Every structure is written in structure tokens, then in C-alpha cells.
């Protein structure tokens, strides 16, 4: 039967991303959080906005330049994004200036401006400038022989208006000072100059204080910091390159000089200088952001790292070893008995490294295969894989060179592995390999036994302490055999056989999810119960959104826990409140992907590396695997889903108009420890795992 409902009016993805950053910014105002952690969230918003502009803004800026009014991305869409972004940035600097810095100063942590420095501090700063900074600064006075210089993406610069004439009698009145990235952006003053407090000075304030000394014989009339953000999404035609790694190396050089999409200047920047910069970067006026403070708040993450004070930071917690693991017993022996879940960061990612270490040291292990997407700076897994090669094992690493903003690190991993003889492949042409898999093959008697690790998150020990993810160690012969087939497919491009347990994008994951939603819809139409709970980072795939709405209209209860962007309109006609969307924003970054279906009292659950985005379903290699064991399924449902749905402290609720509201604390007796202890869901789980 044809639907009688009008076409869905989906929420805007870009404004949804910006709304997510509004929610993150709320943590910078949260009085329950330590001050340096609040500053850290402020910096995270700056970093997120950088990436938003680098990746999402270029089409909108182009539409504004071209006065485009007919297509979906047009002048109006640009103006909407610009208005929301400007409001967000203004709120961000208000929090920085009016709340965080005064509160930190009251705790003895100061960012000391030039005007507030004592004579002794000024003398120390002057010596630092002469010794460490001045030698690396080369002002460029603009004239026909010195055109406007190449300004790298997100670099710190000064524009200076000069009076008088240069050494040759010419009146070139504009100069640019580029600040090298090798210089630390934050410097701590010596203790003997800090009066028993922690006092820091920013590099930009040091340069401002000594800027006139760079232009001997000239008048400095006006000056301002500025920073330009450029389009930075690497575009490499894989069908037209012979060596993807070499092509990406070249592309990384050009990334810093893509088309400009945003210009940040200090608040007092002279109007003529701002206009001059906009012309140089060919930007519309709405792309100019005047900021009352440092033009790159993300760099103040250094202050959160460098400043000391236990009361100013989160109380550290140590992840525990998974309750399902027996200490000092072989992983291979234990996996013969059961699958082992690891709920990070409450349970330690170190167990995964220990599993790999045992495989490397075990003489019966013949082969190790692993996908590498984002690894971070911790090199232990790299060294273990290299050691496996030296011990004569077959090692294959599927290195995703196109992992955005981690391309260089992954290229280095690939080269380091190849240098010792590991087999390195770069996935399938046209697709990113985003699946998280580690497969070990071990000779046991006359047979080769398979052991695997699959995860919703990356093989990154650092983020494994900050992101919530669920991973599973398994010897399930069907899952591990499917992993073997998938690794072979990625490496050799042979046709993927029919898999027994894994769902794999871009082949059947999207289709199977649609089928599961459709099955729930049909059951609901028969008057039977159906409930879908999905936890993920983003929901932007239109087909899946439409399927969920159709299911909701049929009577399926749908709970969506979506941390970031969500385009589903919960006010669509016929839903009658059956679809609810919430976002958990707290101390930890919610990263796990859980797909739960309860259809006529039959439960199925899948964990996955994939969000419900078109790119994940169609342009990436992703996996989802079933949780068959009822106890494991109950545990994941409780810890990842029900706890999030019960949370009324860190949860934000999607409203009918597309905005989000912080969940109001309930006064009723809720049988959820997270609320009874006045803890957020994350704090409760941290405490829970600390106690066992």
C-alpha cells in the first residue's frame, strides 16, 4: 500500500553537527566538572569546528561565491551555517573570558597578558623572545617582488600595517609575519617569577609585545593575529594512480594550501586589514570570525595538560581486566571455553595487546592479520607485528591510508611494517577499510585453529582510555572463518563467499539492517510488540531513516542513542512519539555501535564498526557481528543501552523542532544506580568496574 504521508522533511546534517558541538560546549560550563577539564572541552570544540570547516564548508562557501540559489547547497545554506557557527564561537569565547580564565586564576593558574606582567616577568619574556622566537620570525613586507605569502592551513600569523618608508624609501605599508609551528604556543614562567602560582604566557602575546622590534625604522600603525582554515579533504583518484601511498604523500603536502573557507582575526583587527585579508583569501564577509582572545583555542589544550592540581582534573581511574578473563592463563585456552567481551575504557584495552603479544610469542601461531585505521602514537602493536615477522610468522596488515587526518601516521606504519617483510595491503580501491579485526591462525595438532578480535573502535591504546567501545575475543569458527574470507577478499579482490555470521559493508550490511527494521514493522502491523534500540555516533543514511520512520508509524518503539549528527525528524506525521532520540555527552566519548532488535519477544543484537551513514554502508568496508550468548547480550544491553536510556544527567533529548534539550532530572524513584548515586551513566560505570 502506498504511503499517505508526505515526503520526510529531514533535519540538516551540517546544523546537526554544529548542534552536537553546542552540546560538547555545555561541558565547558558544567560546574560539576574540574576546571582544567572544562577548558579541555572548550578546546575540543575548537578542534571539532576546525574539522567541520576543513571537511564540510567548501561547497557552501563556493555556493556563496557563485551566488547559487537553486541547488540544495546554496546562499541560504551558507548563511544558516555561518550564523550558527558565529553564535557558537561567540559563546565559546564568552565562556573562556568570563568564566574559565577568572575561575582558573582564582585557583592560581594564570594566562598572563603583557599588560599584567611585572617588570621582572617582562624582562624574562624579552630574553625568551630574543633567544627562542626572534631568530625564527621573518617579516614579509608586501610589494611586487614580495606578493602575499602562502599561508598554511590553521597556522598562526600576524598582519601589520606600517607607516613610514622602508630601507629603499618605498611606502609598502602591509607586512605579514608567519609564526613557525615548531614554536611552543604556551610557555610557563619560572617559579621564582610566579609567586607560588602557575603562570603561563602565550606565544602570540610574546610576539605582540615585541612586534615593533621586528620593523626597525618603521611605525607599526595596526596589527592583528589571523588564522585561515582551508579545505583539507584529500581527493585522490585511485583509478588514476599507480601507487596510492606515493600519491597520498604528495597530497599531504598540498593539504595545507587548499581553498580558504574561514578567516579568524583578533577582535581589534582594523577593518581595512580584515577586508584586505578577505580579498586575499577570496572569502565572503560572513567567513570572517572576530574572536576576543587567541585565534586558536585548540592550542590551549597545552594549558590543560601542563597545569597541575588534582582538584583541577578528573580523578584518574584505572581500567580493570575483563571479568571474563582468568589472570595468567592462555588466551587460546580461555577462548576455547567462551567469547570474552571487553567494555572499554572501563575494562582495559591492554588485554587486546596481551592477546597479540601471546600470539607473537607462541611458536604454534602461524599467521597474524590485522586492520589498521587509527593507531595513535603508541607503537607497541607495531613493534609486536614487526617482532612476529622476525619470528617467522606470516603477518598481513590492512593499512587504511585514507583515514582522514591520520594519513601520514598510517603511511609511516605501512613503511615500517614493509621494512621488516610484513605483507601490507591498502584495502579495496574506492573503499575505506574501517572494519576492526585481528585474526590469529594457530596450529593445534593436525588442524589450524582460528582466534579473532573484533571491535567497535580502533586499535588505539590512547583513545581506548577515552572512548567507550565494545570488543570481543572469540574462537567462534564461523566468525573467524568469515574474518579469514574477508581478509582474503581485501588482499586479493577475490569474490567474497557467502558469510555465515558477519554482516559486511558494502555488500549486505545495509540490506540486512533494512530487512531487520522491515521485519519489526511487519510484526508491529500484526499487533505484536517490536522494539528497536540503536546506539551509534551518527544517523545520516536516508534509507535507514525512512525505514525507521515507517517502522515507528507501524507501531514499533524505537530508541536511538546518537552521539553526533542525526537527521531523523521525530515530529514526522504518524510517529506519535514512538521514536525517541537522545545524545550522551559526558566525560568519555560514546563510540560503541550496538544494534538491538526485540521482535515479538525474540532478541537479536549486533555490534559493529559502522555508523548509520551512507559512507559507512556504501563506501567503506565495515563489519557487524552477532552477540549470540544471552548473558553477553544482556550485559551489553544493560551497560551500553539501558543505562544510556535511563541517564538523566548527561543525556540530551532531540526535540520536535530539531533542537536538543538537556534531560531534566527526574524526581520519581528510578531504579537506576546512575541516578540514585547522583552519578552520570559514565561515572556510575567507572565506579562499578572499580569495585569489582
Q: Which residues are designated catalytic?
A: 434
487 three-state secondary structure: helix
Distance CA 295, CA 297 (A): 6
Neighbours of 382 (CB within 10 A): 18
What are residue 661's DSSP bridge partners? 653
Task: Report the largest interatomic distance among the alpha carbons of the chain, rounded to a whole angstrom.
Answer: 89
375, three cell numbers: 593507531
CA–CA gap between residue 506 and residue 609 (Å, rounded)? 13
Q: What are the cell numbers at 263?
A: 578567516
Q: How many CB atoms lie within 10 A of CB 496?
A: 16
Q: In terms of C-beta distances under 8 Å and separation of at least 24 residues, what long-range contacts does 653-661 make, across chains too? A: 653/580, 653/581, 653/582, 654/566, 654/570, 654/580, 654/581, 654/582, 654/583, 655/570, 656/570, 656/571, 657/571, 658/11, 658/12, 658/15, 658/16, 658/19, 658/569, 659/19, 660/19, 660/22, 660/23, 660/583
| Count of other CB atoms within 10 angstroms of residue 222 | 15
b/e sequence 71-105, b meaning 16+ C-beta within 10 Å: eebbbebbebbbebbeebbebbbebbeebbbeebe
Phi, psi of 552 (to 5 degrees): -60, -40
CB atoms within 10 A of CB 394: 15
d(CA 446, CA 456): 33
**CA-wise closest residue to 384 among 397, 402, 403:** 397
Decide if 550 contacts 575 (C-beta within 8 A): no
Cell 533535519, residue located: 11
Half-sphere exposure at residue 184, Cβ-oriented, CA atoms within 13 angstroms: 12
At 462, phi and psi to the nearest 5?
-70, -55
What stretches of 460-561 show up as alpha helix (H) in DSSP?
Answer: 477-492, 509-525, 542-554
What per-residue string of b and e applies to 244-267 under the rule 16 or more CB within 10 Å gives b?
A: bbebbeeeeeebeebebbbbbbbe
What stretch of H or E contains 355? helix 350-361
Amino acid at each position: 500500500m502506498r504511503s499517505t504521508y508526505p515526503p520526510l522533511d529531514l533535519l540538516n546534517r551540517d546544523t546537526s553537527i554544529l548542534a552536537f558541538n553546542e552540546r560538547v560546549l555545555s561541558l565547558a560550563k558544567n560546574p560539576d566538572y574540574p576546571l582544567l577539564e572544562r577548558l579541555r572541552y572548550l578546546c575540543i570544540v575548537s578542534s571539532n569546528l576546525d574539522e567541520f570547516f576543513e571537511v564540510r564548508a567548501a561547497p557552501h562557501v563556493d555556493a556563496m561565491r557563485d551566488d547559487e540559489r537553486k541547488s540544495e547547497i546554496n546562499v541560504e545554506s551558507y548563511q544558516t551555517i555561518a550564523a550558527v557557527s558565529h553564535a557558537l564561537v561567540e559563546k565559546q569565547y564568552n565562556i573562556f573570558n568570563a568564566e574559565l580564565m577568572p575561575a582558573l586564576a582564582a585557583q592560581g593558574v594564570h594566562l598572563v597578558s603583557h599588560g599584567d606582567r611585572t617588570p621582572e616577568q617582562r624582562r624574562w619574556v624579552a630574553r625568551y623572545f630574543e633567544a627562542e622566537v626572534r631568530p625564527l620570525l621573518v617579516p614579509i613586507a608586501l610589494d611586487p617582488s614580495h606578493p602575499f605569502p602562502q599561508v598554511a592551513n590553521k597556522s598562526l600569523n600576524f598582519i601589520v600595517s606600517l607607516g613610514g618608508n622602508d630601507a629603499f624609501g618605498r611606502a609598502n605599508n602591509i607586512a605579514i609575519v608567519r609564526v613557525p609551528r615548531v614554536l611552543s604556543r604556551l610557555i610557563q614562567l619560572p617559579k621564582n617569577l610566579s609567586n607560588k602560582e602557575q603562570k603561563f604566557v602565550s606565544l602570540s602575546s610574546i610576539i605582540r609585545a615585541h612586534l615593533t622590534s621586528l620593523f626597525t625604522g618603521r611605525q607599526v600603525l595596526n596589527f592583528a593575529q589571523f588564522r585561515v582554515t582551508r579545505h583539507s579533504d584529500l581527493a585522490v583518484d585511485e583509478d588514476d594512480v599507480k601507487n596510492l601511498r606515493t600519491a597520498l604523500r604528495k597530497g599531504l603536502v598540498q593539504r595545507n594550501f587548499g581553498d580558504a573557507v574561514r578567516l579568524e582575526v583578533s577582535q581589534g583587527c582594523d577593518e581595512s586589514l580584515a577586508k584586505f585579508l578577505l580579498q586575499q583569501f577570496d572569502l565572503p564577509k560572513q567567513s570572517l570570525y572576530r574572536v576576543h582572545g587567541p585565534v586558536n583555542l585548540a592550542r590551549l589544550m597545552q594549558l590543560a595538560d601542563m597545569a597541575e592540581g588534582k582538584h583541577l582534573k578528573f580523578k584518574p581511574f584505572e581500567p580493570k581486566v575483563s571479568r571474563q578473563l582468568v589472570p595468567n592463563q592462555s588466551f587460546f585456552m580461555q577462548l576455547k571455553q567462551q567469547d570474552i567481551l571487553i567494555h572499554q575504557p572501563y575494562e582495559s584495552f591492554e588485554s587486546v595487546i596481551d592477546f597479540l603479544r601471546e600470539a607473537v610469542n607462541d611458536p604454534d601461531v602461524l599467521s597474524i592479520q590485522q586492520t589498521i585505521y587509527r593507531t595513535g602514537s603508541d607503537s607497541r602493536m607495531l613493534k609486536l607485528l614487526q617482532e612476529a615477522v622476525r619470528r617467522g610468522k606470516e603477518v598481513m596488515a590492512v593499512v587504511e591510508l585514507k583515514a582522514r587526518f591520520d594519513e601520514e601516521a598510517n603511511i609511516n606504519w605501512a613503511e615500517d611494517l614493509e621494512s621488516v617483510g610484513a605483507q601490507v595491503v591498502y584495502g579495496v580501491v574506492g573503499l575505506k577499510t574501517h572494519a576492526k579485526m585481528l585474526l590469529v591462525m594457530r596450529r593445534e595438532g593436525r588442524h589450524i585453529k582460528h582466534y579473532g578480535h573484533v571491535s567497535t573502535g580502533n586499535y588505539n591504546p590512547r583513545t581506548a582510555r577515552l572512548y567507550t567501545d565494545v570488543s570481543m575475543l572469540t574462537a567462534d569458527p564461523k566468525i573467524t572463518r568469515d574474518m579469514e574470507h574477508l581478509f582474503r577478499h581485501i588482499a586479493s579482490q577475490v569474490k567474497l563467499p557467502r558469510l555465515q555470521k558477519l554482516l559486511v559493508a558494502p555488500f549486505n550490511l545495509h540490506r540486512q539492517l533494512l530487512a531487520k527494521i522491515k521485519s519489526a514493522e511487519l510484526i508491529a502491523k500484526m499487533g505484536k510488540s517490536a522494539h528497536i534500540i540503536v546506539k551509534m555516533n551518527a544517523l545520516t543514511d536516508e534509507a535507514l531513516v525512512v525505514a525507521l520512520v515507517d517502522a515507528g508509524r507501524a507501531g514499533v518503539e524505537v530508541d536511538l542513542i546518537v552521539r553526533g549528527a542525526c537527521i531523523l525528524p521525530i515530529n514526522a506525521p504518524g510517529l506519535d512519539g514512538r521514536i525517541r532520540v537522545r545524545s550522551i555527552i559526558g566525560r568519555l566519548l560514546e563510540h560503541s555501535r550496538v544494534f538491538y532488535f526485540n521482535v515479538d519477544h525474540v532478541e537479536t543484537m549486533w555490534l559493529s564498526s559502522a555508523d548509520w551513514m551512507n559512507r559507512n554502508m556504501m563506501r567503506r568496508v565495515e563489519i557487524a557481528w552477532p552477540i549470540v550468548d544471552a548473558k553477553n547480550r544482556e550485559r551489553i544491553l544493560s551497560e551500553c543501552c539501558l543505562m544510556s536510556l535511563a541517564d538523566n544527567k548527561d543525556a540530551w533529548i532531540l526535540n520536535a523542532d530539531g533542537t536538543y534539550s538537556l534531560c531534566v532530572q527526574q524526581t520519581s524513584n528510578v531504579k537506576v544506580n546512575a541516578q540514585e548515586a547522583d552519578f552520570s551513566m559514565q561515572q556510575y560505570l567507572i565506579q562499578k568496574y572499580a569495585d569489582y
